Amino acid sequence: MYPASFAYHAPRSVEEAIALLAEHGDEAKLLAGGHSLLPTMKLRLAQPGHLIDLAGVAGLQGIREEGQRIVIGALTTHDELASSSLIRAKLTALAEAAAVVGDPQVRNRGTLGGSAAHADPNADEPVALVALEAVLVMVGPKGRREVPAVQFFEDIFTTALGADEVLTEIVVPVTSGKLASAYKKLPHPASGFVVVSCAAVLEGDGQRLQAARLGMGGLGGAPVRAAAAEARLAGQAPSEATLAAAAALVSEGTDPADDLYASAAYKRAVAQVYARQALTAAAERLRA
Amino acid sequence: MAGNNSIAPVDIRFTVNGQEHQASVEPRLLLVHYLRENLRLTGTHVGCDTSQCGACTVLLNGQAVKSCTLLAVQANGANVTTIEGLEKDGQLSAVQEGFWEKHGLQCGFCTPGMIMAAEYLLSRNPKPTEVEIRQALEGNLCRCTGYVNIVAAVQYAAEKMGGAHVSR
């Protein structure tokens, strides 16, 4: 299968990429790892007239720690995230989500920024970004802006990223206190995409949780925070019973869609199982 | 814009199996088609053509990638290794030998991709467990073997490569 014809552009800077977007408007698409866009183009579901390849753009690569935050370049691949000792230690849920995207070949090419911008409702990393309260940084003709993940992911394949903007960085705050996280997923047996998943982030110590944040995937068009479960955990000791009681609340207020593999009722039920697994893993790490 | 014939070709230059190539390609040309049709390296197979089956796996700068999901222009400046690049002076690589010795194939269609994925695994993890081998081959589908002999082939290669280490 060949994609439809397009003109290829290889800018060297974010400014150049923005200028190309401005010049070609709706006809242009940004190319990162290409593991969502190219399959879509091969199926002719997308037929952009201009492809702007970000691979050679300076400043979109790499993972670095800057004081109380970790800054991840948008072109960081899933494999780089999953293998990074910094991400594994401090943003474990994100490393675990990256490690179960697609397969090894896909993880070598697909990027965090690409996954975020594509916003597949059954993707892994957006769920972790929402739970970790990541901020997505984008640059456009009007300058730079930052949008929290929970607002960035608006709906199925829909984000706050403007058509004239480039997603450049994902910034994740890390507190000086103790923080542990985990990601658990029920994969679709054929595609490997998320049926339901949970990213759990716990702050505190083995005795008492200061705060808990839960991101849920597969329960809507975009990842959601499980507010009722989070409230149930705040200030509590992370006992097995408390974690289970909180996990039982994660589907509250959600309205997942039925699909050929899983009914909405099943997704709401099984989400609680994966939330409990994620909470248990995160609590074990908090105690360690 | 679709079907427009006035698209400017793009000049690319890369190394395939140690040999440098320069070409002027249509931007939409996929790497797998460049390898098969322009270079006649037909060992890299097109299976599903939807990034699932892994028959088109090659190494790009040492990393396993699916060449059906990569534009040739994205490989500009890179070092590509295909199944044809593994044998050295008539000697099969340890992984190729493993597939031969352990009969890690039936129809053989998935084999080049399986071997490239296994080469990549062993370059990162010379002593993989069975679970790690199976995980590393998650992006490669075989519809004949049931995978048992494929895993045995990779284990054979790991042992052979490790054995060479020890004896040195």
* Chain B CB contacts of A39 below 8 Å: 50-51, 69
B98-106: average pLDDT? 97
Q: How far apart are CA B27 and CA A52, in angstroms?
A: 11
* Chain A CB contacts of B8 below 8 Å: 7
Across A251-278, b (16+ Cβ under 10 Å) vs e yields: beebebeeeeebeeeebbebbbebbbbb
A236-265: average pLDDT? 97
3-state DSSP assignment of residue A184: strand
Quick check: B73 contacting A, CB < 8 Å?
A: yes
Beta carbons of A5 and B63 less than 8 Å apart: no
Is the pLDDT at A200 greater than 60? The verdict is yes
Q: How far is CA A123 from the centre of its chain?
A: 7
Is the pLDDT at B3 greater than 70? The verdict is no
B 94-153 residues with CB below 8 A of A? Answer: 117, 120-121, 135-136, 138-140
| CA-closest candidate to residue B110, choices B158, B46, B63 | B46
Q: How far apart are CA A207 and CA A286, in angstroms?
A: 10
A177-202: average pLDDT? 96
Q: What is the pLDDT of residue B77?
A: 97
Residue of B60, B138, B140, B154 to mutate, testing the A interface (most A Cβ within 10 Å of its Cβ): B138
Comparing CB atoms, the residue among A5, A34, A44 nearest residue B69 is A34
* Chain B CB contacts of A4 below 8 Å: 1-3, 28
What's the pLDDT tens digit per position in A40-92?
A: 999 999 999 999 999 999 999 999 999 999 999 999 999 999 999 999 999 99
Helices vs. strands in chain B: H and E counts, helices first? 5, 5
Q: At what angle do helices B148-167 and B94-101 cross, to 10 degrees?
A: 130
| CA-closest candidate to residue A41, choices B72, B70, B35, B56 | B70
Cα Rg for chain A, rounded, in angstroms? 19
3-state DSSP assignment of residue B75: helix
Closest-CA residue in chain A for B67?
A: A105
Q: What is the pLDDT of residue B163?
A: 55
For residue B5, name the pLDDT band (cuts at 50, 70, 90): low
What's the pLDDT tens digit per position in B19-39?
A: 999 999 999 999 999 999 999
Question: Rounded to the nearest 5 degrees, what angle is found at the Cα of A269, between the Cα atoms of A225 and A229?
Answer: 35
Q: What is the pLDDT of residue A176?
A: 74
**C-alpha pair distances (Å), A212 with each of A28, A131, A199:** 41, 9, 11
What's the pLDDT tens digit per position in A146-167?
A: 999 999 999 999 999 999 999 9
Beta carbons of A105 and B139 less than 8 Å apart: yes
Cα Rg for chain B, rounded, in angstroms? 17
CB A180 within 8 A of CB A92: yes
Is the pLDDT at B6 greater than 50? The verdict is yes
Q: What is the pLDDT of residue B168?
A: 28
E strand map for chain A:
7-9, 28-31, 50-53, 63-66, 69-73, 135-140, 143-148, 153-155, 158-159, 166-173, 179-187, 194-204, 209-217, 224-225
